[in-house]
Chains A and B, each alone.
Chain A
């Protein structure tokens, strides 16, 4: 595909578990076009999160190549990878992973501490991101003062505040009730459709997967099938 944001070729990943070497992924090829929204599905242990971690630059493959936006991230050092993540990827986790000591505003500003923006610019950008997720009025609230859905929205605001091309979401609705999950998924869909964000989402939930443009299935470390919605 000519405008592929993520290009994965023959990727394998092995982990050492004690004396045993376990191959979690093998021979994975995947292209994710810019502006796509894909759901990664599969049974537990199929390698979904591992693949997501490789795409997000949280881990490096044992073999093969991972290219994101023209950059071979599998060849970057740990320090370079950290810098790359701060500029190109936004992360959304199942359990939100907000810092409990910071307000919503503080949490959203965190990634901006790695930029050259001054404090006023950072605050302004964070406020815009919170407005986008509908939480401008909860900016000064600590995570424990927010509902699960609101916490996840703050996490999404944190993911988009640096305006990355790619969002990686690991079970973003896994800890939410149906109604709240739908709201969060609608928000992700809006970010994809209206703001052009490329989204890769791991989920167990077929209903959640329906919000994606297509679903990629993984089974025992290999791509099983792909289907459009």
Chain B
């Protein structure tokens, strides 16, 4: 018989009720683990991106294109190392799988994004083959694509000059990321040759969705961005220039403020959990008032009894929370296997760390009132049933 044994024995003095409460805690933490990791995917997916690149888009929206003639103008700006233009192609593979397809200049892509790595002969092939396409490693693995294969894509935006929306590209290279973060990004994108796109598309050939500027010095980002936007102010093509990281965050926010949605869902879940577990613990203490009085009679101090009750709630929340996070981790792996890098949910150490804090806060929040009640009870009154 130990103190921890006493805590566990008391916790399970009503087994069915405790198991049901435990299940609700587990369910809440499964949801917490998955939503929190989803939130991370959306909110901190750009953390690894440095400030060495600026993105210039139309001031109206990134869905409005800018004229290609801006390329040499941006290239000529002091502090700009190289400019890359890209056009959103909107590729759909097979039945309805959306593939993030961008029409780019191969040579400019190679210069502006050194983070994408690929054998040099593949870069050359991408440059030389007009129908060439390169795909991220994870994406290629997902669909079993091999270099040399023809990849059919349908564009819902750009028909060919012959009116067909069906395009066919030659896969000439498979690129990877320079490090783990960039490698994770290779599950979503493919690049096609802009020259071919411009030549074959019915319209849009002279336009670019965005310009990506690689800078010589990240400290100049703010002044260059201001300079660009001032230059095109009051023109037909007003621009909005921001760091690549801000651009990505803004892109995600087009879907909605995922972080806010997740926070509200979690708030609702934990508020409900607070009531469920709080009620269970309050009931449990109410039922055991004579037993708690006996503990005090035997010499357990008020604080020791408070500690025992708090320990019960903490153990309940810890068991449920850890089990829930464990299940969420497993489910995250399954989701990743099923959806690939398109939804890179990972219940990683950051989720576990936040989960750990949530377990402690929840345990203290639901346990404090019953524990204080147990602490306050007077032996003589409790034994007399008053």
Please determine whether B5 and A86 come into contact, CB atoms closer than 8 angstroms: no
| Residues of chain A within 8 A of B304, CB atoms compared | 82
Encode contact with B along A91-117: 1 for CB under 8 Å, 0 otherwise: 101000101111001100111011000
| Residues of chain A within 8 A of B299, CB atoms compared | 82-87, 111, 114
List 13 other contacts, CB 8 Å, given A53-B380, A82-B302: A58-B383, A79-B302, A79-B303, A83-B301, A85-B299, A87-B299, A97-B290, A97-B297, A100-B13, A105-B1, A110-B6, A110-B295, A110-B298
List B277-291 residues whose CB lies under 8 Å from chain A. Answer: 290-291
Q: What's the nearest-Cβ distance from chain A to residue B298, in Å? A: 5
Q: What's the nearest-Cβ distance from chain A to residue B18, in Å? A: 11
Question: Per a CB cutoff under 8 Å, which of A78, A79, A113, A114 touches B1?
Answer: A113
Is B137 interfacial (CB 8 A cutoff)? no
Please determine whether A97 and B380 come into contact, CB atoms closer than 8 angstroms: no
Whole-angstrom distance between the alpha carbons of A59 and B13 in the complex? 29
| Residues of chain B within 8 A of A197, CB atoms compared | none
Whole-angstrom distance between the alpha carbons of A97 and B379 in the complex? 13
| Residues of chain B within 8 A of A122, CB atoms compared | 1
Residue of A nearest to B299 (CB): A86
| Residues of chain A within 8 A of B1, CB atoms compared | 102, 105-106, 109-110, 113, 119, 122-123, 126
Question: Per a CB cutoff under 8 Å, which of B9, B290, B298, B303 touches A101?
Answer: B9
B: interface residue count bin: 20 to 34
Is B3 interfacial (CB 8 A cutoff)? yes
Please determine whether A85 and B380 come into contact, CB atoms closer than 8 angstroms: no
Residues of B within 8 A of A (CB): 1-3, 5-6, 9-10, 12-13, 290-291, 294-304, 379-380, 383
Residue of A nearest to B288 (CB): A99
Encode contact with B along A32-44: 1 for CB under 8 Å, 0 otherwise: 0000000000000
Instruction: Name 27 A/B residue pairs within 8 A (Cβ), A-sorted.
Output: A53-B379, A58-B380, A58-B383, A59-B379, A83-B299, A84-B299, A85-B297, A86-B299, A93-B383, A97-B290, A97-B294, A97-B383, A100-B291, A101-B10, A101-B12, A101-B13, A102-B1, A102-B6, A102-B9, A106-B5, A106-B6, A110-B295, A110-B298, A111-B299, A113-B2, A113-B6, A122-B1
Encode contact with B along A154-179: 1 for CB under 8 Å, 0 otherwise: 00001000000000000000000000
Q: What's the nearest-Cβ distance from chain B to residue A200, in Å? A: 15
Whole-angstrom distance between the alpha carbons of A32 and B173 in the complex? 99
